[in-house]
Amino acid sequence: TFGCCHFLYSMGVALETNLVVFLCQEKLLVVFLFLLAVVLIDLKVVLTLYICESAVFTIRFWFLIGFEKLTSIIIVTTLTSHFVVAITLVLVIHNIRSNIAARQNSGSTSSLMLGFRHVLRGVCDGDFLLDRSSCYILDDASCLERLLKSKKKLSESNFLDLFLDPESRLNFLNFLHAQDPS
C-alpha cells in the first residue's frame, strides 16, 4: 500500500509544472522513500525505484528550468544529489540489516549456550560407577538410564555398547587410558 501510494504521488510530481512546488514535492518523495526503505528493508526494490524516479525527476527538472539554460554546475549538482541520496539509502538499509542479523546471532548464541548448560548439567547428574578394565557399568545406573531415557536396565552392561560408532568408543578408551590411574 505504501509503495503504491508512493508511486502515485511520484507520478503526480512528475507532471508538476511549477518549479518551486516540483522541488518541494521531490524532497518530500525522498523522505517517503526512506520510510519505504525502513519498511521494506529491500535494497533491490528501493534502489531500483529511486533510480527510475531520479531519472524521471532529473529530466523533468531540466525541462522546467529550460534545457537552453542548463549549466554544468546545475547538471553536476543534480546528479550528485541523486547519487548522495542513493548511497545514503544503501547505507541505511545495510545498517538496518546488519543490526537485525546481529540481534538474531546474539539470540541464537544465547539460546545455544543455555541449551549447552542444560545438557552439561544433565550429564553431571548422570553419574555411575564404571569398571575401568572391562568398561562394565557397576552398581546402580538409574541416573544414566534417566538421562538417556533408556527403558532397559544399564547396570551390568558394557558402557561401550552405548556409543553409536567405533570412533567414539576408541576416543572414550583413549580418554580412560590418558587419565591418572589414581
Using one digit for the tens of pLDDT, what is the confidence trace for 28-72? 888 888 888 888 888 888 888 899 999 999 999 999 999 999 999
Using one digit for the tens of pLDDT, what is the confidence trace for 88-102? 999 999 998 888 888
Nearest Cα residue to 26 out of 69, 55, 67, 4 = 55
CA distance 154 to 137: 7
CA angle 176, 179, 180 (to 5 degrees): 135
CB 60 within 8 A of CB 66: no
CB 51 within 8 A of CB 24: no
pTM of the model: 0.55
How many H helices and E strands in the chain? 6, 2
**3-state SS class at 158:** strand
